[in-house]
Structure 1
Amino acid sequence: MKEFEYKELEKATENFSQSRLIGKGSHGCVYKGILDEGKNIIAIKKQSLGLQKIQDNSKLENEVSILSSLPENSFIVNFLGTSHHCHHDDDDSSKNESFLIMEYLPNGTLYQMLHAKNNILPNWPKRAQIAIQIAKAIQFLHQTKPNSIVHRDIKSANILFDSNWNAKLADLGLALRMKNDHQDESPSHSSNSVTRPAGTIGYLDPDYTKPSKLSTKNDVFSFGVLLFEIMSSRKAIDVSKSPVSIVDWATKLIKEGQSLEICDKRMHVPWYMESTIKNMLSIATRCVSPKKITRPTIEEIVMEMENVIIEPIKYPLWNILRGLTLLRRKRKRSRKNCCIITTNNVTKTCAQHEKKLLIREILADKVTE
């Protein structure tokens, strides 16, 4: 684990200038740092003023402990090192400040992508791709040995995009290691402020009410909420709407057989994506089940997504065949009304012409590797 010089960070952020502030939360602020005359760009997490005043380093130290124990993974923000600085306040008391250094991801958060005005919206195949990348990030944490890691704060604001628009999971300040799949095994330096139930309202599992209720299924619930958000571009909690909870709103529509009404109204849903979207919404519904035992594991979610969501989008042969079958049936029903186009003694029906347009549309929308 690399130790960065504090003076190096000061220079890289122009003394932590507001112009370099790229993220802000209850636990800390994130700054963009430019090193080596622009050759290297990093992200630096600094504790919030509130935590600095009470000298509560637990969350930052917990995040360092978790990240430094993990191998590099393409779905988790890359940890680069730490820095420490001792300074004196106006009352001449000595205070130690810690910093966390990570890779810089230039394309903002999933929250911004879904909710910012005048933003370019992701198409449906891209939304499915983002969902599977997040699921694989959670799977990586849950499969960590010898004890699973529970993130505890899965939400759109903690999903960042790299230069290629791949999604990465960030902010492990609340993450905890499991013990015997029931109790948390918090780092030795952590305080009760770290181990007590925590998360973000709207994404937080309602069953997680005390430390002994910590489970990987807490993350699964949050992932279900996030899936609804990805599909609808509606916030997890929106007081301007009724019901205010995305879970209550979405599950009600699904029970009424109106699952496609959940989809982002700003985006047309091609008929050949309907099955994929319904599969994603089905997964989300099971994830947010009030009964923890009925929720799928993240391994089951990833497997299902790869089998029934991602592969059909990447290789849409099944979509094409299904489309041609439907068009054939449509042609039979409307044969009497179908116009005939004759060119160079070759007769083509409108339905056949429509087939070509359909195939082009499907192939144009598929996810590229």
Structure 2
Amino acid sequence: MREFSYEEVEAATGGFAAKNLVGKGSHGSVYMARLRYGAGGGGGRRRVKGVVAIKKASHAQGEAKLANEIAVLAAAGGMDGVVNLVGVVVAPAGAGGRKGERMLVMEYMANGSLHDLLHRSPKPPPWPRRVEIALDVAEAVRALHAGEPRVIHRDVKSANILLGRDGRARLADFSLAVKVPAADDDDDSRAPDDAAGPAPAGTIGYLDPCYTEPGRLGPESDVFSFGVVLLELVSGRKVMDVNASPSSIVAWAVPLVAAGMARQVLDGRIAAPRCPKAERAVARVLAVAARCVSEFVERRPAMADVVAELHGALESAGWPRRRRAHGLAGTLYRRVVSWGASHLHVRRSKIECTEHSGSEGSCAQPDHPCSNPLASCSNENILE
């Protein structure tokens, strides 16, 4: 992991100028910069110049959360589906930043967040693209839960799912993540109710209602949040909409699915699936989402089961999935992507939603009358 000097990062961001600001949250801000850093493996590491994202805390509490994020990402070690850690910055005495201040340098995700893609893009993504994104994120969460120690993200949401130029989705923002010991096979993986731990945290709308005290934290909390993301992907609706009744996406969508009216949940901005295979694939995604957001923790599936279902949905519909670039080819690809990132602002709206735009057209006999699997999705009890 490369350690960058405060001076080179300050220069690369134009003194953390507003024109380079790409994101801002309650704990800090993210800036775009072009830096030289190591690429390649073993003894063949070379310095390449590429576009990166630099996360800078805005206050002392933010610095503690950023330090936690750096530790978690360093331990993840380039895990598929997780945003890559490039390096860190430590401000020495006398530098422009606070003494000892640390900043996070990570890969720059050129196509923004899933939240923006769903709620701000002029062209909403088609069904194959949505399932593909869901599978990318599900695999990342599964890997985090399978590690030793396992990692509970605690803030899985569409704004923390970033999209790269390679078309793949990656999970980001590990400021609230917690490491917990892996449990025995016959354990439920949650800490005892009286165990010490961080206070419940997350984002309203995505936060597991069963996570009410430190001892209740477990992988099931991430499963619930991921289920909310699935509902958001399928419906295109905001997770909390004060202008709707009910305002919660869970309280709105789950009863409709349980009543056999799943079609009313589908994003009306794009055409409903037009053939049996596509209908069954989307129905399968909704069924998984319903299980994930069950108010009964023990009924929620493990992320390994979620991955299997989403992979099955994608394959059963005949929707292709793009491959990740690895090794030397991946390094060269990322270098080309980095050099072209300065042109993204004028091209992004044209490229971010075009993948698989004609995939559903390949279904045999799209107008053939058939039973609607979206009308028969089973579901768990709803959250009130």
Name the TM tier (shorter chain). 0.7 to 0.9
Which of 35, 43, 50 aligns to 2:53? It is 43
In structure 1, the partner of 2:18 is 18
Whether contact under 8 Å (1:29, 1:47) holds in the other structure is: yes
Which of 268, 280, 284 aligns to 2:289? It is 284
Amino acid at match of 2:190: H
Amino acid at match of 1:8: E
Amino acid at match of 2:298: I
In structure 1, the partner of 2:114 is 110
Question: Is the alpha carbon distance of 1:170 and 1:263 closer, same or farther for their aligned partners in structure 2, counting shifts above 3 Å?
Answer: same
In structure 2, the partner of 1:3 is 3
CA RMSD of the aligned region, Å? 2.7
In structure 1, the partner of 2:260 is 257
Tell me how far apart the structure 2 counterparts of residues 74 and 196 of structure 1 sit (CA, whole Å). Answer: 29
Whether contact under 8 Å (2:285, 2:313) holds in the other structure is: no
Whether contact under 8 Å (2:228, 2:249) holds in the other structure is: yes
Q: Percent identity among equivalent residues?
A: 39
Whether contact under 8 Å (1:260, 1:278) holds in the other structure is: no
Q: Does residue 83 in structure 1 map to residue 89 in structure 2?
A: yes
How many residue pairs get aligned? The number is 310
Whether contact under 8 Å (1:129, 1:310) holds in the other structure is: no
Tell me how far apart the structure 1 counterparts of residues 177 and 167 of structure 2 sit (CA, whole Å). Answer: 25
Amino acid at match of 1:40: G
Which of 149, 152, 172 aligns to 2:151? It is 149
- Taking structure 2 as the reference length, the TM-score comes to 0.75
- Alignment partner of 1:307: what SS? helix
How far the C-alpha of 1:86 sits from its partner, in A, is: 4.2
How far the C-alpha of 1:309 sits from its partner, in A, is: 3.2
Which of 296, 300, 322 aligns to 2:301? It is 296
In structure 1, the partner of 2:65 is 59
Tell me how far apart the structure 1 counterparts of residues 212 and 5 of structure 2 sit (CA, whole Å). Answer: 41
Which of 183, 203, 215 aligns to 2:191? It is 183
Tell me how far apart the structure 2 counterparts of residues 320 and 268 of structure 1 sit (CA, whole Å). Answer: 14
- Taking structure 1 as the reference length, the TM-score comes to 0.78
Tell me how far apart the structure 1 counterparts of residues 311 and 296 of structure 2 sit (CA, whole Å). Answer: 25
How far the C-alpha of 1:270 sits from its partner, in A, is: 2.7
How far the C-alpha of 1:324 sits from its partner, in A, is: 8.7
Amino acid at match of 2:307: V
CA shift digits 1:107-139 (9 cap, x unpaired):
1100000001x5221101111111111101111
How far the C-alpha of 1:164 sits from its partner, in A, is: 2.0
The correspondence of residues 208-219 of structure 1 with structure 2, limited to 5 A, is 208-219=211-222
Tell me how far apart the structure 2 counterparts of residues 156 and 57 of structure 1 sit (CA, whole Å). Answer: 23
Whether contact under 8 Å (2:114, 2:162) holds in the other structure is: yes
Consecutive unaligned residues in structure 1, runs of 5 or more: 185-191, 330-369
Q: Does residue 131 in structure 1 map to residue 134 in structure 2?
A: yes
In structure 2, the partner of 1:340 is none
Amino acid at match of 1:251: V
Amino acid at match of 1:174: L
Tell me how far apart the structure 2 counterparts of residues 206 and 110 of structure 1 sit (CA, whole Å). Answer: 23
CA shift digits 1:76-125 (9 cap, x unpaired):
10001111114679xxx974321001011111100000001x52211011
Tell me how far apart the structure 1 counterparts of residues 210 and 162 of structure 2 sit (CA, whole Å). Answer: 27
Which of 290, 295, 318 aligns to 1:313? It is 318
Which is greater in Rg? Answer: 1
